Amino acid sequence: MADFLLLLALSLFVILGLVSILKFSLKALIDYFSSAQRLQRKLLFLQNRKDTLHKQQYFKSIQLRYFNDLKRKHLLKLDNRRQSLALARLIQKSLNVQKKHIPTALFKQWQLEQKLYRQQQDMLGLIQLQQKITNYEADKEFNR
């Protein structure tokens, strides 16, 4: 008899528990789809979208600035190449004119320097090389 009573009590306890869980779940489900909650979710979605738009704008402007800078650097590179080529040609011309008056080793060294600076687009190096050649020519003239 006692066993039966215990089983009855336990079954009642389990049934009550299940009913409570079902009740809470149903209430939560109804709350989830209630108009207030739906509106709240929509509001959060809109707020999130607004924030995303701000971020998108920021990153788009950074991207534009980056590509703009890339274009400018490309222009600069082209100009550097044009200038270094022009000066390198002038240096080569001076070297060819002075070839007979310059020792072969020095001539080759200057020719190598000219090629290296031209490849590196090193304008300062080329300018200094041209000055060296000019000074060398001037010294030669002076010694004569």
Partner 1 sequence: MKLIKNLIANILKLVYRVKDEHLTWQQNNQPKLATLRLAKVLAENDLAAELKKRGTQLEHDIAMLKTQHTAELAMFKIKCQQDVQDYKQYLQSLEQLKRSIEMAYQHLPESVAFAIHHHAKYLLNKMWEAQAFEERMAHEMRLIQFMSTVHEDARLCLEGSSHPDLPEKTLSLIQKAE
Within 62-81, which residues bind partner 1 (CB under 8 A)?
Answer: 64-65, 67-68, 71-72, 75-76, 79
**CA 130 to mean position of chain CA atoms:** 38
| Minimum distance, C-beta of residue 42 to partner 1, in the bound complex (Å) | 6
Instruction: Rank residues 11 and 104 by Cβ distance to partner 1 and give the closer one.
Output: 11
Binding mask 22-41 for partner 1 (x = CB under 8 A): -------------xx--xx-
Instruction: Rank residues 79 and 139 by Cβ distance to partner 1 and give the closer one.
Output: 79
Sequence-separated (6 or more) residues with CB below 8 Å from residue 102: 95, 110, 136
Q: How many chain residues touch partner 1 (CB under 8 A)?
A: 37
| Minimum distance, C-beta of residue 114 to partner 1, in the bound complex (Å) | 12
DSSP 105: H
DSSP 99: G
| Minimum distance, C-beta of residue 130 to partner 1, in the bound complex (Å) | 4
Binding mask 112-141 for partner 1 (x = CB under 8 A): -----------xx-xx--xx--x-------
Nearest residue to 102 (alpha-carbon basis) of 53, 54, 139:
139
Axis-axis angle for helices 104-120, 35-97 (nearest 10) = 160
Cα–Cα distance, 111 to 105 (Å, whole number) = 10
Give Dmax (Cα) for the chain: 138
Cα–Cα distance, 99 to 36 (Å, whole number) = 92
Which residue ranges make up the site for partner 1 (CB under 8 A)? 1, 35-36, 39-40, 42-43, 46-47, 49-50, 53-54, 56-57, 60-61, 64-65, 67-68, 71-72, 75-76, 79, 83, 86-87, 90, 123-124, 126-127, 130-131, 134
